[in-house]
């Protein structure tokens, strides 16, 4: 066995960990390769397990019909999950009615949609199922631009899962 000084070993684990995790996120290496690296003691990814289990949600734009997407049943102390989001349109005009829905894990207590300083809670229809319907008021020309719609699913412990949808206010 090769003897490696303690500080070199720590630096190596840190670098391998960052490279491995970055590659997993970018889908360049498989999760199984990362697990092999963990088993060999090269990487400690235990604190990143929640992120591996919570992939980004599916996002639907257009006709918003209630999709029958399964709600993951999880314990209340687990991280919340955004499974799917839908929005009637990403091009929003004064006077429009924007509708949408979210499917989350069963432990989500609330879902909030935010644009700049404006926040709208989604209506809870059932465990893991939320809906939204908002009338867009008349808007002055200086607010007509592109925004990021941030959607947060929050569990009772305050943990959040977030997704961002770019929208265009015209």
Q: What is the reported pLDDT for 7?
A: 52
Confidence of residue 100 (pLDDT cuts 50, 70, 90): very high
Tokens of 68: 């029958």
pLDDT at residue number 48: 47
CB-CB contact of 154 with 110 (8 Å): yes
Domain boundary, last residue among 16, 37, 52: 52
Residue 1 lies in a domain: no
Q: Pairing between strand 82-87 and 58-61?
A: parallel
Q: Assess whether 64 and 117 both reside in one domain.
A: yes
pLDDT over 90 at 78, yes or no: yes
CB-based contacts of 92, cutoff 8 Å, min separation 6: 98, 136, 167, 168, 169, 170
Which CATH number do you get for residue 123? 2.60.40.10
Residue 74 lies in a domain: yes
pLDDT at 34: 57
Q: Are residues 48 and 59 in the same domain?
A: no
Domain count, the chain: 2
- Same structural domain, 47 and 111: no
Can you give the residue range of the structural domain that contains 87?
Answer: 54-169
Q: Please give the pLDDT value at position 68.
A: 78
Same domain, 44 and 69: no
User: In terms of domains, do 71 and 105 share one?
Assistant: yes
**Shared-domain flag, residues 29 and 58:** no
Whether 64 is covered by a domain: the verdict is yes
CB neighbour class for 5 (10 Å; exposed up to 12, middle 13-18, buried from 19): exposed
pLDDT score of 84: 93
Could you report the per-residue pLDDT of 24-75, keeping only the tens digit for each?
Answer: 444 445 555 555 565 566 555 544 444 445 678 888 888 766 667 899 999 9
- Yes or no: say if 109 and 94 are a contact pair by the CB < 8 Å rule: no
Give domain status of residue 71, yes or no.
yes
pLDDT over 80 at 8, yes or no: no
- pLDDT tens-digit map of 125-167: 999 999 999 999 999 999 999 999 999 999 999 999 999 999 9
One-character DSSP codes across the chain: -----HHHHHHHHHHHHHHHHHHHHTTSS-HHHHHHHHHTTS---GGGHHHHH-PPPEEEESS-----PPPPP--TTSPP-EEEEEES-SEE-TT-EEEEEEEE-TTEEEEEEEETTEEEEPEEEETTEEEEEEE-----GGG-SEEEEEEEEEETTS-EEEEEEEEEE-
Q: Does residue 74 sit in the same domain as residue 154?
A: yes
Residue at 116 is within a domain: yes
* 63 and 135 together in one domain: yes
Is 45 in the same domain as 58? no
pLDDT band at 2 (very low <50, low <70, confident <90, very high): very low
Whether 43 and 73 map to the same domain: the answer is no
Whether residue 158 sits in one domain with residue 123:
yes
What pLDDT band is residue 12 in, cutting at 50, 70 and 90?
very low
Ranges 7-11, 68-72, 108-112: which has the least confidence: 7-11
The answer to whether residues 59 and 15 belong to one domain is no
In a domain, 98, yes or no: yes
What pLDDT shows up at residue 122? 98
Please give the residue that has the higher pLDDT: either 15 or 113: 113
């Amino acid at each position: 066995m090769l003897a490696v000084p303690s500080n070199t070993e720590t630096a190596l684990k840190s670098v391998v960990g960052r490279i491995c995790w970055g590659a997993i996120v970018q889908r360049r290496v498989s999760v199984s390769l990362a697990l092999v690296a963990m088993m060999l003691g090269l990487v400690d990814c235990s604190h990143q397990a929640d992120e591996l289990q919570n992939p980004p949600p599916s996002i639907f734009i257009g006709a918003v019909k209630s999709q029958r997407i399964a709600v993951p049943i999880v314990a209340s102390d687990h991280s919340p999950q955004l499974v799917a989001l839908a929005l009637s349109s990403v091009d929003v005009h004064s006077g429009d009615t924007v509708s949408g829905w979210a499917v989350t894990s069963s432990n989500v207590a609330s879902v909030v949609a935010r644009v700049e300083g404006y926040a709208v809670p989604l209506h809870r229809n059932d465990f893991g199922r939320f809906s939204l319907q908002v009338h867009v008021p008349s808007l002055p020309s200086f607010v007509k631009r592109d925004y990021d719609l941030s959607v947060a699913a929050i569990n009772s412990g305050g943990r959040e899962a977030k997704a961002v949808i770019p929208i265009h206010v015209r």
